[in-house]
Amino acid sequence: MLDLNPLVYQYCLIIVITSMLYNPMSYSNYKILGLVPARSGSKAIPNKNILSLAGKPMMAYSIEHSLKCRSINRTIVSTDSELYAGIASSFGAEVPFLRPAEYSGDLSTDLEVFIHCLEWLEKNENYRPDICVQLRPTHPVRNIDDIDKMVQIMIDDPSIDSVRSVVKSPDSPYKMWFANSDNTLRPVIDTDIRDAYNLPRQVLPETYLQNASIDVIRTDTIVKKRSMTGEKISGYIMDEIYDIDTFRDLSEVQNRIIQKDERISGKTFCFDIDGVISSLTPDNNYKSAQPIESNIDIINALYDMGNTIILFTARGTMTGIDWTEVTEGQMNDWKVKYHRLMFGKPAADYYIDDRLIAIEHLKSFIK
């Protein structure tokens, strides 16, 4: 046994006892439910929650986040759809019930969804979690560590009713207005700051916007207080929002997910020729097309990284003219690296694809 100075021994003992009392993994002693609410009735983007996003259904990302999270020890999807239930189960989530239609409409609230889930679990399984974590399927990009940190905040402070993820508001509510019936305006925020709406944004108080990424709620807050937040709400500040509400959001988030994918070797990329590899030409006189060299550099880099490059074109689809020799000659002269050239793409004004990505976003793949 080491012969320690008594003061040193006491100091070491204090450190050991303190480390035992403060255990950052203390959430292992709690029943923590991860709930992914995924109804089937989206209007803006039909079937949004199961729409293919970078190769998998959108809600699969939130399911995976919950399953990989250390603090969450049960993952359930609440849905009104047999189809959705099957997809959720295939990605490892539990679907012990189908949500009734009265809690699955456009105006249904999170509170209704959670109360239904908690009451069903308690009645049918005698299961009641201590803490609930809401992971919305429309926010497919998350840092899983954030979930654990937010759960730990709640465990460390029993007075907190909920923890909600937020970002700094892009626009100041101090400069926002309500319009009265006569078109006169009144400020959204009633404040003691004189003429706040006329002041520079930099001198106004910082405000925050909930980003729909992670909500951590004490079960008693939901069941007893009938609230998804309660009175004492702790904010967890993040940098970004990835909530999907429109097709534009969908495209931007998909590009973000693809950019984060480090397995860029072995992928298949399909590139249109005109407007991407070559300039658009008047009257479809493709002989006068010029190379877009910056895009060709990106395509060649992806080829060199071990990816399959397919080129496709609508050249000749409408006119019947065979542009094969001209096109192959251009690709050779412009030193475009590719594996296959495909003709016969239908001519159209717009093309829609669920795995569409703009070529400028491919620059992030090139190391």
Question: Domains in the chain, start-ordered, CATH in brackets?
Answer: 26-169+206-251 (3.90.550.10), 262-365 (3.40.50.1000)
The Cα–Cα gap between 239 and 294 comes to 31
Please name the residue ranges forming H helices in 157-237: 219-223
Characterise 320 by phi-psi region: left (phi > 0), alpha (psi -120 to 50), beta (else): left
**What is the spatial distance between Cα 11 and Cα 208, in angstroms, rounded to a whole number?**
43
Q: What angle do CA 264, 137, 62 make, to 5 degrees?
A: 55
| Single pTM value for the model | 0.68
What local confidence, expressed as pLDDT, does residue 18 receive? Answer: 46
Q: How far apart are CA 141 and CA 136, in angstroms?
A: 10
Tokens coding 123: 């009645």
Angle between helices 58-68 and 144-156 (to 10 degrees): 50
**Under 8 Å between Cβ of 289 and 274:** yes
The tens place of each residue's pLDDT in the chain, 367 residues long, gives 455 555 555 655 554 444 444 444 567 789 999 999 999 978 778 889 998 887 789 999 999 999 999 999 999 999 999 999 999 999 999 999 999 999 988 889 999 999 999 999 999 999 999 999 999 999 999 999 999 999 999 999 999 999 999 999 989 999 999 999 999 999 999 999 999 999 998 899 999 999 999 999 999 999 999 999 999 999 999 998 988 888 888 878 877 776 665 556 788 889 999 889 998 888 888 999 999 998 898 899 888 888 899 998 989 888 889 999 999 999 999 999 999 999 887 777 777 666 667 776 676 666 5
